[in-house]
């Protein structure tokens, strides 16, 4: 078996993990090709030449490698060694943070087909995209803070940005419905549960649907109510929060300065034209969310 490892040396706070990975690889009798992203782009490689591809990095690195696989119309399975600050996808897929255990799963035959989101016919996402408060929090979280504090860097950024936020107007269209909504954040996700908070009741990463979540308020009292519902999976639609399962969606912010993010990477786009690519990517996982 010919295996490609793509390693991001600046992912998260787990720097210089390449030596540990290479040492652990000695027990596997495979042809290993190693590519360090600091040495040049991996886009010049051909994913069809490999039987398995490992993404060693955070959610942003995984998104880039998955996009490259999809753009090349490859069926090569993608495995994950989580080295980022958030590792949201790895946690959802049941992939441990321990490198040795993650490698063992990566070389297993637990191959699943998962859905992928596509934005503006160009940008792929595996986890979520959003516009509004969530993207603002990500934008204001520095790389230095992420390397030092990991996931807590986002929590600190959330608190710092919480008291200086205003709702935005959006034109929203999905599956034949259209309306103008006022919201703090519109979040489009590929599965339901994030950090033990279930944000919609029925969603899987392989069900052929995306999920639009509309957060209409950031008042502290209302957020406490929503967090309790998410924790206990008592999810209800009301004036604070609503959700919809969709195959396609279009989101146009009235404020051109509204922040947007795709799988945790801030991006400048005038609008989000979103559709689902059902079971488009082969991925190796311990479970599916």
pTM for the whole structure: 0.90
Q: What backbone torsions phi and psi does residue 197 show, to the nearest 5 degrees?
A: -105, 115
Cα diameter, the chain: 57
The answer to whether residue 150 scores a pLDDT higher than 90 is no
Q: Which of 117, 38, 33 is nearest to 76 (CA)?
A: 33
| pLDDT number for residue 11 | 66
Q: What is the pLDDT of residue 233?
A: 73
**Structure confidence by residue, pLDDT tens digits, 252-264:** 999 888 888 999 8
**Residue-averaged pLDDT of the chain:** 88
Question: Is 3.40.50.720 the CATH number for 2-109?
Answer: no
225 phi and psi angles, rounded to 5 deg? -65, -45
Higher pLDDT, 197 or 275: 275
**Is the pLDDT at 10 greater than 80, yes or no?**
no
Residue 2 has pLDDT above 80, yes or no: yes
Which CATH class, in words, describes the domain spanning 125-278?
A: mainly beta
Bridge partners (DSSP) of residue 267 are 260
Instruction: State the Cα–Cα distance between residues 285 and 289, nearest whole angstrom.
Output: 10
CATH code 2.60.200.40 region(s) in the chain: 125-278
Q: What is the pLDDT of residues 207-231, one digit of tens each?
A: 999 999 998 887 777 777 877 777 7
């Amino acid at each position: 078996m010919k295996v490609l490892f793509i390693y991001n040396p600046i992912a998260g706070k787990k720097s210089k993990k390449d030596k540990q990975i290479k040492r652990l690889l000695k027990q596997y009798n495979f042809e290993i090709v190693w590519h360090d992203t600091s040495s040049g782009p991996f886009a010049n490689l051909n994913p069809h030449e490999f039987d398995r591809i490992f993404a060693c990095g955070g959610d942003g690195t995984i998104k880039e490698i998955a996009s490259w696989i999809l753009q090349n119309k490859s069926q090569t399975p993608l495995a994950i060694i989580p080295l980022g600050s958030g590792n949201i996808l790895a946690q959802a897929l049941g992939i441990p943070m321990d490198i040795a255990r993650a490698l063992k799963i990566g070389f297993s035959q637990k191959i699943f087909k998962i859905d992928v989101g596509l934005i503006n016919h160009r940008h792929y996402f595996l986890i979520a995209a959003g516009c509004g408060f969530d993207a603002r929090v990500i934008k204001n979280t520095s790389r230095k803070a992420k390397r030092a504090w990991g996931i807590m860097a986002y929590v600190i950024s959330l608190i710092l940005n919480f008291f200086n936020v205003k709702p935005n107007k959006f034109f929203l269209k999905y599956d034949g419905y259209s309306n103008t909504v006022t919201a703090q954040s519109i979040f489009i996700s590929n599965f339901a549960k994030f950090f033990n908070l279930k944000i919609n009741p029925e969603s899987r990463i392989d069900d052929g649907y995306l999920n639009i979540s509309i957060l209409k308020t950031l008042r502290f009292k209302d957020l406490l109510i929503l967090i309790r519902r998410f924790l206990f999976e008592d999810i209800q639609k009301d004036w604070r929060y609503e959700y919809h399962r969709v195959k396609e969606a279009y989101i146009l912010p009235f404020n051109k300065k509204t922040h947007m993010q795709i799988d945790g990477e801030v991006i400048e786009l005038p609008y989000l034209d979103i559709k689902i690519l059902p079971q488009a990517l082969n991925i190796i996982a311990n479970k599916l969310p």
